[in-house]
Structures are given as C-alpha cells and as structure tokens.
Amino acid sequence: MKALIHSYLFAAFALLLPTWAVAVDLPTPEAPKIEAGGYLLLDFQSGNVLAQFNADERMEPASLTKIMTAYVVFNELSEGNLKLDDEVLVSEKAWRTSGSKMFIEVGKRIRVEDLIQGMIIQSGNDASVALAEHIAGSEMTFAELMNAQAKRLGMIHSHFTNAPGLPNPNHYSTPRDIAILATALIRDFPQYYRWYSQAEFTYNGIKQQNRNRLLSQDPSVDGVKTGFTDAAGYCLVSSAKRDGQRMIAVVMKTPNPTVRARDSLALLNYGFRFFETHVLFPAQKPLETLRIWKGSMKALPVGSATDVAVTIPRGRYDQLTTRLEKPAELFAPVAAGEAIGEIVIALGEQDIKRIPLVALQEVTLGGIWRRMIDTVLRWFQ
C-alpha cells in the first residue's frame, strides 16, 4: 500500500513539473507501410529525403511524364518562345493519340492555355502531343528537349520517348527522378503551378475532373499528377503545404486508385507530423570573412550560394550545429561563387548535410607591391 501511495504521489508531482523537466527524446517512428513498387517522400525546401523504397529502380512513369512535358512548355513560355494565347493547329497524329483525352479535333486551332489545362487537369494525351508538335515540330524532337532538361536537372535514371507517357521500352524514370522533377517544376514555375490544384476543366462541352483525389480529400494538397498504364500501375505525385512547410510524395506501381491516394496521404501526413524544416541562413549571407593573400583585397566574405535549409525530427532544433571547413590559407585570384570549402551541418554528433562554402565576391590578383608585402607578412605568421 505504501509503495502504491508513493507511485501516485510521484505521478502527481510529475504533472506539476514543467514539460522540459520530464521530456524524453523519443526516436522518430518508421514511415508507414506503403503498398507500392517504389516511393519517395521529401521536403521541398531542404530537399531532404524522409522516406524511400526502391527510389532508384527503373519504372514506367505513365502520365507522370506530363510533368516533364509541362516543364518544357513552361520553360518555353518563360523564355518568350511561346505565349498562352498562341493557337495550335491540331494534327491528325495528336487527334488519334490513344489513352486519356481532352477531345480536341483534327484541323482545329486551340489556345496554348487551353491545351495546358487539358494536359494537366484532364491528363489529355492528345493535348500533350499537340503541344509537343507545336513547340518542336515533331514529338520525337520534343522528346529530345525533355531528355535535355532531365539531364540538366540531374535525373540520371530517366529517358523519355514521347510527351504523354505511353508505354515504350526506352521510356522510363524512377521515384527519385520524378521527385527531382516535381521539385523543379514547383520551384521554377510557381506562376503556372496553380493549374495543378484546379478541380475540373471543360473543353468542347465536356467537363472532366482532376484525377488527383487528394485535392478533394485534403485542403493542403495542391498537386501534382496521376498516372496509369497496365505496366506502370497506378502512380501519383502529390504535394501539400502546411504552415509554410511543403512536402512532395511520389508513389509508383500501386494496385489501384484508392491505394495510391491513401498511401500518398499517409506519406505526406508522416512527413508533416514527425519532421520540421528550418532555414539556417539565406543565400549570399556572409558567414565569415577569410584572410586572402596576394589579392586586390585582404578580406573575402564567404557563405552559401543558395538558401541553406535542413529538415530534422521534430523537437531537435537545439541539437543543430554548423561549422565551416575551410582552407588553412587562401590565395588570389578567386572568382565569385567559387567553392573553397564546405558548410557542415550536424545533428547531435552526426553530420547530416554538407553544402559548398563559396566566395561571395571576386578577388583579383593584387599588384606587385601587394604581392610582395603579403609574401613578407606570411614569413612572420
């Protein structure tokens, strides 16, 4: 009885303590079980991968291909080579393209903006081919543009042969590459990303719903694209933003539309529940000033060329530390943006991220007198 009373007293006392006095650093649970051939979850801002399975395995992307088709189209718009009001003449090939359709008609002229919505919201294979032919002259030439962009973005395990994502032995990608692509599309073309959250689109009197079920199930979801063929299974790239944090999930080769939606949402919820993202310092912010010898200047500010963000398990922000790994001596000339070391971010005792430490301005070679003075000064170091 006395022991029981003591246990009650201890429990009551613990309730009166501040939360920091009884907090326990619990491990982050494993990601939920996903019924997919491959998947990947990452934080958009930091790029940190939070869960993955078969992320580098070659798979058929089906209509996820249209994310790359859209990326090329958006790039043409941004460079001024294409306008939303431009009219596209529909070829017989585009009209006859099999699979999901926007229901365009051969010989008709259709605005680029309508075709984009038909491709994104209605997943129109016909719209994809019409845009490809208008931009590059032929779908084959357009595929070369797709592969060039894939290479530039670092999608090293992808190759595209057509604009809609129709099956072809040489048409493939991976969950990781698709996540890289989705990240780039949201980052590079925010002005066009809005179409991915559009619930429906009507063309030629035919209204079609966006195939992404998550748009109606979770208000934080605003994209991105579904895909399906018999060989590819049911695929989905989803993205959601909650309290300023954005997650991107890719699931490929799921057995049915219900599973791909359910498991995608499970991944997104896991990321938001158990991880937090912090921008440690912005791009071009001087983190330190280094002595540089024999240059037109004596001091060189160094930092990161891009924003430095990191995603960590919730509640562990106070365990983050950073350090600069830099050369013992630094000599001119140094170009602006030149990497001269690394920024290392650690969580507790473990290094979790390395970012190039770059020169934030150019330092040219100093004159003869400056070089002579610095030579003498170094003797006395």
244 Cβ neighbours under 8 A, 6+ residues apart? none
CA geometry: angle 311, 315, 318, nearest 5 deg? 85
Known catalytic membership, residue 108 = no
Binding residues for substrate: 225
Radius of gyration of the chain (CA): 26
Q: What is the DSSP string of 184-224?
A: HHHHH-HHHHGGGG--EEEETTEEEE-S-THHHH-TTEEEE
The catalytic residue among 46, 100, 123, 158 is 123
Known catalytic membership, residue 91 = no
Known catalytic membership, residue 238 = no
Please give the Cα distance from 139 to 131 (Å, whole number). Answer: 9
Question: For residue 233, which amino acid is it?
Answer: G
Please give the Cα distance from 226 to 238 (Å, whole number). Answer: 8
Please give the Cα distance from 143 to 161 (Å, whole number). Answer: 5
The catalytic residue among 63, 91, 173, 264 is 63
Give the residue among 271, 270, 299 at the shortest CA–CA distance from 286.
299
Binding residues: 225
Burial zone of 11 (CB within 10 Å; 0-12 exposed, 13-18 middle, 19+ buried): exposed
Q: What is the token pair recorded at 269?
A: 């919820």
Catalytic residues: 63, 66, 123
